[in-house]
Amino acid sequence: MNSTILSTGIRILIPLFLVFSLFLLFRGHNAPGGGFVAGLVASTGFALYAINYGAKRAQERFKLYPNKLIAWGLLLAVISGLIPLFAGVTFMEGLWLEEIQIPILGKPGTPILFDIGVYLLVAGTILEIIFSLWEE
């Protein structure tokens, strides 16, 4: 399908979906939302592009490799769980850098690292599903 309306709208929608997904990711760090919902929103923009132009063109245009996103997401999630072990506390216990304050994030720590891992994992999984269904 190659819709003129969707082709025009995609130019505006993809950046909006990505910015909104980052908002959900960072807002969800301390409130409802987070990596899962943000990953779904981010993959929605690319899914619309794939619906209009095809999965192959979407992968080439945006250099999307869902398997790499999944691998990086899993790696970040596991690292966020292992950092507390090296600090001498239990697996997946939240640790924060108390002396650093970032305006949007607050205090950086292992929970935001975990959320970013979930974000990448969900976005990669949804894109892999969409691209594989489109190729069939």
Q: Rounded to the nearest 5°, which phi and psi values hold at 107?
A: -85, 125
Task: Return the half-sphere exposure (C-beta side, CA atoms, 13 A cut-off) of residue 53.
Answer: 18
Please name the residues in contact with 59: beta carbons below 8 A apart, sequence gap of 6 or more.
65, 131
How do residues 76-112 score in pLDDT, each as one tens digit? Answer: 999 999 999 988 899 888 888 877 887 766 778 888 8
Q: What is the pTM of this model?
A: 0.88
Is the dihedral angle over the CA atoms 130, 132, 133, 136 positive or is it negative? positive
Write down the domain spans for the chain: 4-135
Average pLDDT value over all residues in the chain: 87
Does 29 score more than 80 pLDDT? Answer: no
Residue 49 pLDDT > 70, yes or no? Answer: yes
Give the pLDDT mean for 60-69: 91
